[in-house]
Amino acid sequence: MDRKVQEDPRFKIAKREAWIGIILVIFNFIWWYGFAYGLGSGPVEEYSFVFGLPAWFFYSCVVGLVVMIGLVFFTVKFFFKEVPFDEEGDQR
Amino acid sequence: MAVIWPLIIFLVVIFVVGVYASRHVQSSSSFIQEYFLGSRELGGFILAMTMAATYGSASSFLSGPGAAYNYGLAWVLLAMSQVATGYFVLMILGKKFAIMSRKYNAITLVDFLFARYKNQFVVVLAALSIIIFLFSAMAAQWIGGARLVESLTGLSYTTALIIFAASVMVYVIIGGFRAVAITDMVQGLIMVAGTIILFVAALKAGGGMEKIMTTLGTENPNLLSPYGNDRSLTPLYISSFWILVGVGVVGLPQVAVRAMSYKNAKAMHRALIIGTIVVGVIMLGMHLIGVMARAIVPGITIGDKVMPELAMTIMPDWLAGIVLAAPMAAIMSTVDSLLLLVSSAVVKDLYLHFINKKAEEKKVKRLSFIVTAVIGIVVFIVALQPPDLIIWLNLFSFGGLEAVFIWPVILGLYWKRANGAGAVASMVIGMFSYIIFHSFYPNVLGMHTVVFPILLSLLSFIAVTLISSRHGMKRA
């Protein structure tokens, strides 16, 4: 009944990149939560330390940050596409 | 005395930027595009810095480290949920928002919402919540800024407020968005530099990380746990901050408007990487410093004083001055954006939208300068003797605005069926449920108050959109 208007190909790219954002934030959360409470829920006396910091903190917050920066760099370099924003890119 | 020299130099630099940007304002072909959006010319580095600096406020440099001082490493863990803002906002709003706002020729977030939903109630609700809540947020930040100047210089609160208000107002009024963005860049750099310098100095003063952590562990082992000094911070509670200060930030108008200001895709890509690094370094650094401070300068009872006290104790005056320019920069870079945003809501979203659609360029220009100045002056007067109402409203300015804006923006971009009725419902429900939960039933089920209002506003958006579009189809 309704003629489907061809969707702007740039929107497909935008949608994909938004999904990448969601996947990254979920991964970020799991890493952060997993190391913090996986290693940190025992008694403090039994903690091991890395560079002076409790291991849970070191892996969750310090390494977690480095990993996220690396992942953002990687996804942007390899999965993000450059598209024009102006109307001209739209009217073929 | 040497402590104030870096602050004075900082103010001079900011002033010069304002004058530089005002030349663009004078010569630009479209005043309103330039003044409120910097003609969409931001490059990647400036974009990253202005997003990070606008987001990072007094809480990242004063109250946040103060809380970390009290709770221990658990609060740093909580603060790290903010790293997500560095990439999430730009990825979610992303290219779609940039393309759509150009297509609609939208200058403000409200323009975008109107073009998308064609609903006048959305405009009124959005503009009023921006004006009311961000005005209060601004007043609260000015009070923080003035108190900081007061404690550093020994001037009276009123004099400190005048210095702070005058320096912000001058560059925002004459330079508009471009001045705000460029000063944000300078301020962001100061924030990063201040964090790194203070971290290194604290590490040295405390005799290394191992020694600091041992001292803290002897005082109270819980300071080293992810549960807080009194084991009161549950994993669920800390995790719920991912909504408030992580993903929910997409809904903050002052952050979202920046996602329509950049030049091209390349700028966005660079900003994603730089933004994540900058936000991460500041959040991890400043909050960890707050914890370390407990071992170096114990016994501080007022959270906001932890960071200034630490800097003044362990560093020579001139260096402490540079480091303490960081919280100053954080506060300024937040209020300048808020000032301009509230002004744009009055000029563009209310005056040009409802009262005079075809105002001449010259008139708009004069009006923009005047409105920005008047808002600044009113905030100044309010901050002299803040009424309880402002303090109360400020409590909702963060989570409340998120609950209002997040779904109209996101569903407006990615859900074709989303309609005006749904958007209105979600904004009203989001705001009122936030106020009600906050007042009568805070931290429901052990999560931060923001969680349920955001869920409720999503549900009401979807429900009302589906119901009203079915009606529409029947009639057709």
- Cross-chain Cβ contact B96/A40 below 8 Å: no
Q: Please check whether residue B247 is in contact with residue B84, taking contact to mean a CB–CB distance below 8 angstroms.
A: yes
The partner residues of B411 in beta bridges, in order of sequence, read none
Taking only the tens place, the pLDDT of each residue in B11-44 is: 899 889 989 999 999 888 899 999 999 999 999 9
| DSSP 3-state of B262 | strand
pLDDT in tens, A17-60: 999 999 999 999 999 999 999 999 999 999 999 999 999 999 99
Q: Tell me what the mean pLDDT of segment B442-450 comes to.
A: 90
- For B401-423, write each residue's pLDDT tens digit: 999 999 999 999 999 999 999 99
Domain count, chain B: 1
Q: Which pair of structure tokens corresponds to residue A66?
A: 């480095």
How many domains does chain A fold into?
1
Across the range B111-119, mean pLDDT stands at 96
The answer to whether residue A15 is domain-embedded is yes
Assess whether pLDDT exceeds 60 at residue A88. Answer: no
Structure tokens at B353: 């939208």
Task: Report the share of chain B in percent with pLDDT over 70.
Answer: 99
Tokens 């942007």 sit on residue: A76
Position A90 scores a pLDDT of 45
Q: A5: pLDDT confidence band, cut at 50, 70 and 90? A: low
| SS3 track for B49-70 | HHHHHHHCCHHHHHHHHHHHHH
> Is the pTM here over 0.95, yes or no?
no
Residue A4 lies in a domain: no
Contacts of residue B342, defined as CB under 8 A and 6 or more positions apart, other chains included, come to B130, B131, B134, B135, B138, B375
Number of H helices, E strands in chain A: 3, 2
- In a domain? residue B279: yes
The verdict on a CB contact (< 8 Å) between B81 and A32 is: yes
- Which structural domain range is residue B347 located in? 2-387
Domain limits at A69? 9-81
Counting beta carbons within 10 angstroms of the beta carbon of residue B235, is it exposed (0 to 12), middle (13 to 18) or buried (19 or more)? middle
DSSP letter assigned to residue A49: E
What is the average per-residue pLDDT within B442-462? 94
Q: How far is A3 from chain B (nearest CA, A)?
A: 15
- Decide if A1 is inside a domain: no
Whether A91 maps to a domain, the answer reads no
CATH number at residue B318: 1.20.1730.10
- pLDDT at residue A87 greater than cutoff 80: no
Report if residue B405 sits inside a domain. no
Domain assignment present for B79: yes
Alpha-carbon gap, residue B253 to B89, rounded angstroms: 11
Strand partners, A31: none
pLDDT for residue A71 is more than 70: yes
Give the residue from B124, B165, B127 showing the smallest Cα distance to B144: B165
Alpha-carbon separation of residue A32 from A55, A66, B239, B372 (angstroms): 13, 12, 10, 42
Contacts of B437 (CB under 8 A, 6+ apart): B444, B449, B452, B453
Looking at the predicted structure, is the pLDDT value of residue A83 above 60? yes
Q: Which of B87, B216, B223, B274 to mutate to test the interface with A (most CBs of A within 10 A)?
A: B87
- Whole-number average pLDDT of chain B: 93
Residue B453 is predicted with a pLDDT of 95
Nearest chain B Cα distance for residue A92, angstroms: 15
Domain membership flag for residue A3: no
Among candidates B99, B239, B276 on the partner chain, residue whose Cβ is nearest the Cβ of A85: B99
Tell me: pLDDT of A92 over 60. Answer: no
CA distance B295 to chain A (A): 14
Using DSSP bridges, classify how beta strands A53-54 and A49-50 pair: parallel, antiparallel or unpaired: antiparallel
In contact, B70 and B229? CB cutoff 8 Å:
yes
| Average predicted confidence (pLDDT) for chain A | 90
- Which amino acid would we find at residue B457? S
In a domain, residue B469? The reply is no
Task: Retrieve residue B298's tokens.
Answer: 């114990």
Answer yes or no: is B436 within a domain: no
Average pLDDT value for residue range B60-69:
93
